[in-house]
Amino acid sequence: MTGPELAEAALLLAAARRPVVFTGAGMSAESGVPTFRDAQTGLWRRYDPQELATPAAFRADPALVWGWYETRRRGVRRAEPNPGHRAVAAIAARLPETVVITQNVDDLHERGGVPAPVRLHGSLFAPRCSACARPAPLPSDLPPSAGPPEPHDGAEPHDGAESHAPEAHDGPLDPPACADCGAPVRPGVVWFGEALPSAALDAAVEAASGCDLLLTVGTSALVHPAAEIPLVAARLGAPVVQVNPVPTPLDAICAVNLRGPAGEVLPALVRAAWPDDAVG
């Protein structure tokens, strides 16, 4: 990507001292993690993610919902951060006051070099009890007696035999029971109709209120209250730069709209802002 828009965005980034990078599912698309808009695959294609990602769905069929999250967690384990994630880490390395705010529940920002993004919608790697909220071990962290180990390096089960691990099964899966109260363990994500973690939401609003540039990457900005974060920055006079291959409801508040994939645009933006910085 080149052109006047990139040059304008690079000037804004080079001049920034307290940038916010706000990300959605498009940030991880080039890592092979499906976005929420992408059609579901396999058994899950007949389910609407916004229906599955609800307390009601978990109450109605815990195995269906737990199985869906285990499928997504396995997919993320096999995925790698893309050059876009690394470019975000380069911005944070160059500008220590950078705050990365994500709607994503994958761990690709952390694996891409951003140790502590503000997680608005939780994580696939923080299961807890659905009743007493006691943190629960990830299935793969269960002791051997609890079933064969999960392949950690994303490699296929070495003997390829499906019988190798139940978690290789792509379908309903009974959630583990809480070691304390026996209730079903749930994924540590925020479901539709549930409040966001107040500490994360407060940190996000505070960062957006004090930033001197907000970079919004790969979000359709349709899910609230997260979608209001870029508006907070714009309302307080900070320039907003969007990276998305297609227009979104945020276009109108953006100083610059960079139409392209995050994995290509973000490294180009960092190179243009800091030509001496060899990234990507």
CA distances in angstroms from 196 to 10, 108, 119, 126, 185, listed in the order given: 32, 20, 9, 15, 19
Is the Cβ of residue 151 or residue 200 nearer to ligand BV8 in the bound state? Answer: 200
21 binds Zn ion (CB under 5 A): no
Residues 180-199: x/- map of binding to ligand BV8 (CB under 6 A)? ---------xxxxxxx----
Helix and strand numbers, DSSP H then E, in the chain: 10, 8
Site for ligand BV8 in 126-155 (CB under 6 A): none
Q: Are 244 and 218 in contact (CB under 8 A)?
A: yes
Is the Cβ of residue 178 or residue 232 nearer to Zn ion in the bound state? Answer: 178
> CB of residue 175 vs Zn ion: minimum separation in angstroms?
12
Query: What b/e sequence results for 192-224 when a residue is b if at least 16 CB atoms lie within 10 Å of its CB, and e otherwise?
Result: eeeebbeebbebbbebbeebbbbbbbbbbbebe
179 binds Zn ion (CB under 5 A): no
The Cα 155–Cα 169 span in angstroms is 15
230 binds ligand BV8 (CB under 6 A): no
181 binds, among ligand BV8, Zn ion, none (CB under 5 to 8 A by kind): Zn ion
First-last CA distance in the chain: 13
Residue 101 carries which side chain, given as an amino acid letter?
I
177 binds Zn ion (CB under 5 A): no
> CB of residue 35 vs ligand BV8: minimum separation in angstroms?
3
129 binds, among Zn ion, ligand BV8, none (CB under 5 to 8 A by kind): Zn ion
Residues 38-77: x/- map of binding to ligand BV8 (CB under 6 A)? ------------x--x------------------------
Residue 121 carries which side chain, given as an amino acid letter?
H
Of the ranges 18-26, 144-152, 156-164, 174-182, which one interacts with ligand BV8 (CB under 6 A)? 18-26
222 binds, among ligand BV8, Zn ion, none (CB under 5 to 8 A by kind): ligand BV8
Residue 237 carries which side chain, given as an amino acid letter?
G
Q: From the candidates 85, 109, 121, 152, give the one annotated as an active-site residue.
A: 121
**5 φψ region: left (φ > 0), alpha (ψ -120 to 50), beta (else):** alpha
178 binds, among Zn ion, ligand BV8, none (CB under 5 to 8 A by kind): Zn ion
User: Known catalytic residue: 109?
Assistant: no
129 binds Zn ion (CB under 5 A): yes
225 upstream amide cis, omega within 30 of 0: yes
220 binds ligand BV8 (CB under 6 A): yes
CA distances in angstroms from 29 to 3, 9, 38, 76, 85, listed in the order given: 24, 22, 9, 11, 11
Token pair listed for 79: 């995925």
Q: Are 99 and 91 in contact (CB under 8 A)?
A: no
- In the complex, the residues that contact Zn ion under the rule CB under 5 A are 129, 131-132, 134, 178, 180-181, 183
Which residues are marked as active site?
Answer: 121
- In the complex, the residues that contact ligand BV8 under the rule CB under 6 A are 24-26, 29-30, 35-37, 50, 53, 103, 105, 121, 189-195, 218-220, 222-226, 243-246, 248, 261-262
